[in-house]
Structure 1
């Protein structure tokens, strides 16, 4: 009997030792890989911003070229969403998802048409200049609900802050072949030249079920078979280009009052 107990105890001890060793290896790997994960996330972000600004073609596609082009032409700035003013802060350290979960750095929304629950008090905007140092594009991050979860993307606007250069989604959990078509190059190609606001200054951009007419400068074809995702994209744009989103910044930028 004692021999059996001793055997069981040794077996249990071995199993525990293996579990502890595996846990230690996982922890060490996570710590060592985190800098690489952060670097890859930043690189992907830079790539998407250059796509939204329509200047990714200026690179040769390599990591070094993309990073160099980003550093040369893109100026990331923090803004206060309520006032539309530039503020001090580190864009590289800014995390919209983390801020939105922090009651001190975000607020509830009375009309949450984008389905985000809480909105960060601050945001990062990306001012993209040409070789002469003139701002040609402003890239604005957006987030809103799709069918299954939040969808994150970037809208590149020409210097009038009304005409779309590109809309690029970077992170989503939509259904392949349906909502996931937000990343299909053929659908992405429908956005350049569309207008966010109408002549009265109202947010007019929308996805049109059944297809937008060629003469509709505010309409983009809805995603076939993905009504909820399409509605989510429309509501996301309506929110972020409205008064609770980037409109205070856009208004001041247009009149050169932002500082």
Structure 2
């Protein structure tokens, strides 16, 4: 099955009307090694996906209104969050780049902002704490970023995921692709809406046939009161990688 065919087969499960009215569809996706590591020691970027599964990921980006990473990934990887690997991508929609950056550590010289200045990328949106440094706000806004203040949680060390989804819904983002890193993935696994339901709708994990070792970084679920209940939809071999797609179902 082609990457677009695979994705259309697993990303068409409808939200309940009450959910559609309140938040975007959320797809959580990432690549991991056989020993469940998503990054190297200290969060160092690892190229885990082969070219076929990487192409699938870029196709997936064209199917979402927004694409989100945390500040750790933004600093470690300096990502572009675009669809450059998709053939003839200029005729396809590109997602809005979104960064969770509580204290505005994103440098104004990052690729997201230089691409926007060069008119080769969309303007990034940054979600931050109301107490983020004013001087850094000015630098990022001058570089082209749009900033949104949302409440913090966990003693001020993280941002309120539901508040962010509320803003995205208000701004017309109907579907959101969440790519990482560790802290963001773990936060989305654990997050629930005001009625206690998961805020993730689909989970797509690429498993690469490699071992990273104990020093690598994995997804942390130990602090979550609940994890996600999953319904397997499809498993597909893409090049050297195995891609597993699941639908998230309401907790029993």
- Is TM-score (shorter-chain normalized) higher than 0.5? no
| Structure with larger RCO (C-alpha < 8 A, sep 6+) | 2
- Higher share in helix: 1
Task: Tell me the TM-score normalised to structure 2 length.
Answer: 0.28
Task: Tell me the TM-score normalised to structure 1 length.
Answer: 0.27
Asked which structure has the greater CA Rg, the reply is 1
